[in-house]
Amino acid sequence: MSQLLQEQESRRATKLQPPLWLACSALAYPTYWSLTFLLRAAPALINVTFFGHQLVFFECTFRGVRAATFPAPLVDGFTPSLRQAERDPLLITVPLMVTVILLLLRMPRRWRPSYGFCLATAGWIGLSPWLSRWTFPAALNAPVVLALLFFFVVQALG
């Protein structure tokens, strides 16, 4: 009986599986694009859908998806400045990221390398806009520091 089990295990082990680097490189672009949508566009679209914000910027390119909103409806004839637009609302982005982490934790153990790759990519995508704000000390405030710490931890865990 044990010999039969060992034989079945050896057959499973000999099945052709792509190397991890090939799987990660094949999933790199879809993962990157999906996570840019989740972290850079979904929060703005949630604000538009549920909180009455106005969408002032939406971009869907090969580099990903981005969106920005204004908190209140615009006055007629007023052209908004994108510098004042709300691009990364933390109150939506952080819960979305925590939800993704919790869903990824439910993945089977054999998929953990893919899970780590997704987390590292999400941390990098989430960290990059906050790092640009950190380089300008005038924009450094408590939410920026918290976002930097949160996304750095997400990337390090990945």
Per-residue pLDDT, averaged over 28-34, amounts to: 86
Q: Which two tokens mark 136?
A: 């300008």
Whole-structure pTM value: 0.69
To 5 degrees, how large is the angle CA 24–CA 123–CA 143?
170
2 CB-contact burial (10 Å; exposed 0-12 / middle 13-18 / buried 19+): exposed
Residue 147 has pLDDT above 70, yes or no: yes
Residue 19 has pLDDT above 80, yes or no: no
Coil, helix or strand for 135? coil
* pLDDT at residue 73 in the model: 61
* pLDDT at residue 28 in the model: 81
* pLDDT at residue 10 in the model: 60
Please write the tens of the pLDDT for every residue from 96-113: 888 888 888 888 887 777
Please write the tens of the pLDDT for every residue from 78-137: 656 666 556 567 778 888 888 888 888 888 887 777 788 888 888 888 887 777 666 666
Q: Which two tokens mark 112?
A: 């953990």
* pLDDT at residue 115 in the model: 82
Q: Which amino acid is at 133?
A: R
Q: Which amino acid is at 10?
A: S
Instruction: Show Cβ contacts of residue 48 under 8 Å, excluding neighbours closer than 6 positions.
Output: 54, 55, 69
pLDDT confidence of 1, banded at 50, 70, 90? Answer: low
